[in-house]
Amino acid sequence: MEELEHRIFFADLFNWALGPAALWIGNLLGIHLNHERPIPNHVAMAIIVAALLVGVSAFMRNRYRLIPGPGQQIIELIVDFFQGLLLDVIGEKGKRYLPVIGTLGLFILTSNLIGLIPGFASPTSNLNVTVACALTIFVYYHFSGIREQGILHYLKHFLGPIPLLAPIVVPIEIISHFSRIISLSIRLFGNIFGEDLVILILFSLVPLFVPLPMQFMALFTSIVQTFVFVMLSCIYIGGAIAAEEEHTEAHSH
Amino acid sequence: MSTLFASLLLVLLSELPLLASTEEGTAHHQSLISTIAPYINFAILVGVLVYLLRKPMKDFLAQKREAVGKMLKDSEQARDEALSRLTALQSKLDSLEADIDQIRQQAEREAQAEKERLIQEAKEDARRIVEGAEKEISNRVKLAVRELKTYVAGEAVAKAEEIIREKIKDDSHEKLIDTYLENLSKN
């Protein structure tokens, strides 16, 4: 993994511009940072990706037309895709989660793809970033479940359908929910890190042309991994709020 | 796209000191080919993607744009139609009061004419009935008078017969017969 932590121009630029500030904040919080490069590549790249997404969104927002141009059409396609996914998995209530799922999906997709551009690296090839994404979803879907059902009703589902089996079901549920963080983060990290590593190895063997097939493959896996992450996030959110819908339906009958 | 190439150029330029250091034989030895290879690979990647996706993507987007345009046009047309209908209805609504007045006046006129016609008819009927009744009364009176006369004449004859029968005895009767027969022989 250290092999991939090569010098990146933009990360160097970040360290030059914001390094002292990062060191000061680190000292303030009692966090030990590398004095030479306090802002690691993946943090710098994640900030670039976030800035890029905010910039493009802000740029496109002012250029919205009734009859869309190519850029607007592509953005509409992406939004339609996320919205369709949410409607399919969660139902009509899914529209409410579009901002979170859309932001996360776009961040992961851009993070996966940006590593293919020379001079950049995929933030998602670092476990810290993927764990951060997974934790965001973990916290968000529990928050959504509690918001929909209330804390007691939501926690009641962890006891299982038969009260007698609660001592067995509760630990299983807890492990199952925490394993989601691991599965989400390791899957994404493993795939992106793996493809970056293979490209790097192929590049170190024969720099020209040989890594190309793997780069095409990386394009595909970047999209697939984004889809998997987003799809699982939708399922987790849907699962957290579904119990309330069942409950409401039961009452309505 | 130009922004992407500009950033690539920037990154490439940033790598130049490393190239220089290669020439100076430092620890970061990198050949020229390995420095520019990622850019060539990336350019090929983008080139192939653009070559493969440009036409289908362009067609798809054009189709979508056309569909959106058509939808908008249809919506505008539907809105215009709705507006014209609204305007027509509004003007109809505005003239409704006048129409109602006109219809009311017409109805009043017709009702008045009908009333007059009915009154005329009733008067005519009444006149005919009165005439008929008068004629009937007159006929009845004539009939009654005739019957009365007949009755009175009958009664008078009966009475006269009765008186005559009381007053004229057998000798007078015979005298009368003789007188009648004498008159007959004279004649």
**pLDDT digit string (tens) for B51-97?**
999 999 989 888 888 888 899 899 999 999 999 999 999 888 888 88
Does the pLDDT of residue B19 top 50, yes or no?
A: no
Name the domain count of chain B: 1
CB contact B38 to A (< 8 Å): yes
Residues of A in contact with B44 (CB under 8 A): 209, 212
CB contact B47 to A (< 8 Å): no
Work out the percent of chain A whose per-residue pLDDT is above 90: 57
Residue listed under structure tokens 């579904």: A242
Interchain CB distance below 8 Å, B4 and A208: no
Give the C-alpha separation, B94 to A152, whole Å: 62
Does the pLDDT of residue B8 top 70, yes or no?
A: no
Residue listed under structure tokens 């036409």: B55
Indicate the pTM of the whole model. Answer: 0.69
Q: Residue A195 in contact with residue A51, Cβ under 8 Å?
A: no
Nearest to B73 by CA among A153, A136, A26, A66: A66
Give the C-alpha separation, B80 to A202, whole Å: 63
Give the C-alpha separation, A118 to B35, whole Å: 10
Residue listed under structure tokens 């992450």: A229
CB contact B39 to A (< 8 Å): yes
What number is the ipTM of this complex? 0.82
- The structure tokens listed for A197 are 């590593």
Give the C-alpha separation, A211 to A204, whole Å: 9
Instruction: Specify burial of residue A39 (Cβ count, 10 A radius: 0-12, 13-18, 19+).
Output: buried
Identity of the amino acid at B141: V
Show which residues on chain A lie within 8 Å of chain B, measured between beta carbons: 9-10, 12, 66-68, 70, 73-74, 116-120, 203, 207-209, 211-212, 215-216, 219
Interchain CB distance below 8 Å, B11 and A116: no
Residues of B in contact with A74 (CB under 8 A): 61
Interchain CB distance below 8 Å, A70 and B61: yes
Distance from the A108 Cα atom to the nearest Cα atom in chain B, whole angstroms: 19
Nearest to A93 by CA among A251, A250, A252, A249: A249
Residue in chain A closest to B70 (alpha carbons) equals A67
Nearest to A124 by CA among A107, A141, A99: A107
Give the torsion through C-alpha atoms of A122, A125, A126, A130, to 10 deg.
100
Give the C-alpha separation, B120 to B126, whole Å: 10
Per-residue pLDDT at B49: 93
For B10-56, the DSSP string reads HHHHHHHHHHHHHHTT-SS---HHHHHHHHHHHHHHHHHHHHHHHHH
Length of chain A: 253
Nearest to A170 by CA among A178, A135, A186: A178
Instruction: Specify burial of residue A129 (Cβ count, 10 A radius: 0-12, 13-18, 19+).
Output: buried
Question: How many helices and strands, by DSSP H and E, does chain A display?
Answer: 8, 0
Residue in chain A closest to B5 (alpha carbons) equals A117
Nearest CB to B33; choose among A12, A67, A207 = A207
Describe the crossing of helices A98-114 and A41-61 by its angle, rounded to 10 degrees: 120
3-state secondary structure B76-119: HHHHHHHHHHHHHHHHHHHHHHHHHHHHHHHHHHHHHHHHHHHH
Probe site for chain A from B4, B61, B71, B73 (most A CB atoms < 10 A): B61
Describe the crossing of helices A98-114 and A212-252 by its angle, rounded to 10 degrees: 170
Distance from the B68 Cα atom to the nearest Cα atom in chain A, whole angstroms: 6
Nearest to A107 by CA among A59, A50, A191: A50
Domain range list for chain A: 9-252
Per-residue pLDDT at A244: 47
Residues of B in contact with A116 (CB under 8 A): 42, 45
Query: Number of Cβ pairs closer than 8 Å across A and B?
Result: 64
In which domain, by residue range, is B39 found?
A: 2-186
pLDDT tens track, chain A, 253 positions? 444 456 788 888 888 988 899 999 999 998 888 888 888 889 999 999 999 999 999 988 888 887 788 888 888 899 999 999 999 999 888 999 999 999 999 999 999 999 999 889 999 999 999 999 999 999 999 999 999 889 998 988 888 888 888 889 999 999 999 999 999 999 999 999 999 999 989 988 888 889 999 999 999 999 999 999 999 999 999 999 985 455 444 444 4
Distances (CA, A) of B171 to B160, B164, B168, B178, B185: 19, 14, 8, 10, 21
Interchain CB distance below 8 Å, A73 and B44: no
CB contact B61 to A (< 8 Å): yes
Give the C-alpha separation, A171 to A174, whole Å: 5
Give the C-alpha separation, B169 to B173, whole Å: 6
